[in-house]
Structure 1
Amino acid sequence: MWRDLLPVGRAAGGGYRRFAWTAADTECRTWFREQAEERGLVYEQDRNGNQWAWTGPGNDAVVIGSHLDSVPDGGAFDGPLGVVSSFAALDLLRDRGTHLGRPLAVVNFGDEEGARFNVACVGSRLSAGVLTPDQARELRDGDGVFLGDAMERAGHDPAAIGADPERLARIGAFVELHVEQGRDLVHRERAVGVASAIWPHGRWRFDFSGEANHAGTTRLADRHDPMLTYANTVLAARKQARLAGALATFGKVDAQPGAANAIASLVRGWLDSRAADEATLEDLVAAITRSATERGGRDGVEVDVVRESYTPVVEFEGTLRDRIAKHLGGAPILPTGAGHDAGILSARVPTAMLFVRNPTGVSHSPAESAEMVDCLAGVEALADVVADLMSEERA
């Protein structure tokens, strides 16, 4: 499975570009459907483009899976490891002759990374009712293509998107396996861990509007250069995050008109910020906004800030989390600053997460990795968790 999926969407630099509703995304979806059909599972794509593979009908299902899309030039493991491991866990359960007393499903949630339309976890947000159909249809990519148009070109009906309470009502528990995005498990010398919580996080778009002009004839004193305000804001974000013990990153920027010999008229930057609690995150973003506005006033630049997405703190259901950790022989429990579909669904269904050791600690990069022995340990752990949840003595 891993070898078959590895070439899909691979870029020249070794990373991946599996963006929502593109040719690479279609290839990933075809791969998922083939895996489902090879195992005799009931395959379906829901109204929001999420893919499901069911062992059979019924409620109180155990669902496992993750996503197949990537960030620009992302690594091979973030998302796909969870989907591949889920199919492998089902194979292992069948090899063991485990009785599946409840329905089991493997899921691939669409557009988890939000790399194309700048909102993370679009598929799960729509299904959970966190993102409305109208909000989703207003999303556009960098080329101005609306989400709905992209879905339609890929053969999906955008008119059908929206909350999916009936399907979520079938789920008794959702367990997502993911490569660790850090080195906590390396330090603990453990192959597999269990998530305790997800930090609150969000994305904010900062628009810096100035005045376009000639780079070679406009005196410095006469300029209204939004790039200066943007640059100062990037530095301020780093300083404020350090003081708050939180995280703030400007990882994407767009300058218009984008000429090397012209002062920009508009610089648009996207802030990703995360903190251990919501109050700290709110104060941090407010401080960064104040700094941008104050500097904009000195530069003659207008600053507008729009929150494009936000996920509050997620505390994974304690009983399920502790049961899984105990069942896995006292697996370490650790928090994460990364967002996941499991975090979105946690307000609707009991959810849990397993992490597989990442020796580099690097994620969202081609350097992201996991050793095969640890991946197989993750498969065994996921299979053990599913078997336990299937048992009659389930909590």
Structure 2
Amino acid sequence: MESQKGKLTRTQSSLLRSPTARSAVHSLTSAAAADEEDEKPRRPVRHNPHRHYRDLLLLSLPFAFIFFLFLYLRDDSPRFANLVLIFALVATVTYAARRCSGSGRAAARRASSVDWFIGDDDNRKERKAGGRIVREGVVFYSNGDYYEGEFHKGRCNGSGVYNFFAKGRYEGDWIDGKYDGCGIESWARGSRYRGQYRRGLRHGFGVYKFYSGDSYAGEWIGGQSHGVGVQTCSDGSSYIGEFKCGVKHGLGYYQFRNGDKYAGEYFGDIIHGFGVYHFANGHCYEGSWHEGKKQGFGMYTFRNGEARCGDWASGVLKTPLPPSDPAVQHAVQAARKAADDSVLVPRVDAQVNKAVTNANRAATAARVAAIKAVQNQIHGKFCNIDV
């Protein structure tokens, strides 16, 4: 009995407890500002040569009228005449100052109106080459990363390749500067993910293969394995079942590398609840589990048919009971049902294969866009921007 204790308590920790959920690189948020640094030359502003004389005439007429009024009133009402003259001077200076200020603001507005080479929905402000709108470009970032692919409104949009400096790359679909759609993400150490993304995170169906040889194929939500999936390890063990927030949680079937098999409930990556554990030597336990150990009511059957039933605590039988005891029978039935349900968990192989196929296509399109971006850079059709 003690020889089986180690096997009962052994549970492979999930490889997906803290998956790498990389969104679009922080430097991508500065792509729009970087793109805006390249602007088209503005057309010269045309000046009206007669406008200066017209403004001067309009300014002198009221002043001349007030000056003659001052001369007329100077002898009869000298004090009132002086007030009229002072008012005229103040009004003239104020009007001239406003005219100068208005001209300065207009010049500033003309100077601040810039035509960007990308950024409008009607594409009229995007650069054209031979009648074709050029959307592909190259952007370099201060941390050594660089992007080659399609842009829209100053951000990575469409298809493109993002290269992380000495770390890896992403090839696939983009929306508003984030991974969105399908693509392939690979790292320098050899890990790779192929599948679906949403708003910069793995979301949908996909396959993550670790550099160590382990892999996970199934559902993803918010960058973590969540739903139904298959986890295989390089040591030969495997798990098929439900995941939650990156760990085994729910119903599942686990085959250990030593030949042991468990089918039943998991909680937080640990055997917990009801389930059936088959040992490689032919022994079997059916009943209740708590944090990877036999806990509660259950029945342990040896390969020769002998059974030990009762109330278990931390893997040790504390209170022996007959197999006919209602509590034991209830626990055994619940364990067998959980085992049957775990085998019936729906597989998502078809959805995963479809997502991988779409990811391969998206990666191919991204590489084509990257080639066009480099060609545009070489021929000067789309400026590269150093950030």
Provide the TM-score with structure 2 as the length reference: 0.24
Query: Relative to total residues, which structure has the larger strand share, 1 or 2?
Result: 2
Please, what TM-score do these two structures have when normalized by structure 1?
0.24
